[in-house]
Amino acid sequence: MSQLHVINHPMVQHKLTIMRDKETGSKDFRELLKEIAMLMGYEVTRDIALEDVCIETPICKMTAKRVSGRKLAIVPILRAGLGLVDGLLTLVPVAKVGHIGLYRNEETHKPVVYYCKLPEDIQGRMVILTDPMLATGGSACDAIVMLKERGCTNIRLMCLVAAPDGVAKVQAEHPDVDIYVAAVDDHLNENAYIVPGLGDAGDRIFGTK
Ligand code: PRP
Ligand code: URA
């Protein structure tokens, strides 16, 4: 069974509260999302591979640890997942970035694929799949299938807000994928929006409504 990690650090919770507020505009929403991504990134990358490197301090030579950033890929689900990329790149600047384009059909709520461009060597990398919202879980599950079809075996899903339904679906269909969230909310409404949630993440990031 995949693990659900709820990152309840006070700074993450504080920033998320501001993001949920409907009075918060796109500029602040984007900045807060970037900051939260960086903070959550500490937990998501907690067991990232380290390699030995020989360096010389002002005092003597030593063998020290260095993150092997070449082993990481960040894959946002377009559009809203883009909002989490910069914060993660601040942590691991040499990570490669792939893109999966999915949108939910407004009537069926089922995801529709419209784009996929991934690093050529993605199968050898730890993949952090990003999307602020895990609602029914349909988009995340389809994106995970696309990554697995490309040979990925080490996938983590990083979201901001999840519904219990989305968590259950990912855990049932992809028990090998750990999920990182800042909050698990109460339920989905009749339009499959998370309640209380924060509204439409893509629209709030890009100011499209
Ligand atoms: C939102 C969100 C997720 C998806 C979550 O994207 O960013 O990708 O819905 O819903 P699900 O768990 O029920 O699949 P949306 O389809 O609104 O596209 P957008 O990011 O382009 O706005
Ligand atoms: N997508 C969003 O952007 N928000 C939700 O609450 C559900 C899906």
108, 121, 153, 176: which is the annotated catalytic residue?
108
Nearest CA to ligand 1 atom 1: 133
- Per-residue CA distances from 82 to 64, 100, 106, 135, 171 (Å): 33, 10, 21, 17, 23
Summarised one tens digit per residue, pLDDT across range 107-162 is 898 899 999 999 999 999 999 999 999 999 999 999 999 999 999 999 999 999 99
pLDDT at 90: 95
Please indicate whether residue 28 is annotated as part of the active site: no
Query: CB burial class (10 A; 0-12, 13-18, 19+) of residue 164?
Result: middle
pLDDT at 69: 57
How many C-beta atoms surround the C-beta of residue 4 within 10 A? 16
Ligand nearest to the CA of 189: 2
DSSP 8-state secondary structure symbol assigned to residue 81: G
**CB distance 127 to 75 below 8 Å:** yes
Ligand nearest to the CA of 77: 1
The structure's pTM equals 0.95
pLDDT at 175: 98
Summarised one tens digit per residue, pLDDT across range 48-87 is 888 999 999 999 999 999 987 568 999 999 999 999 999 9
How many C-beta atoms surround the C-beta of residue 154 within 10 A? 17
**Average pLDDT rounded to a whole number, residues 183-197:** 97
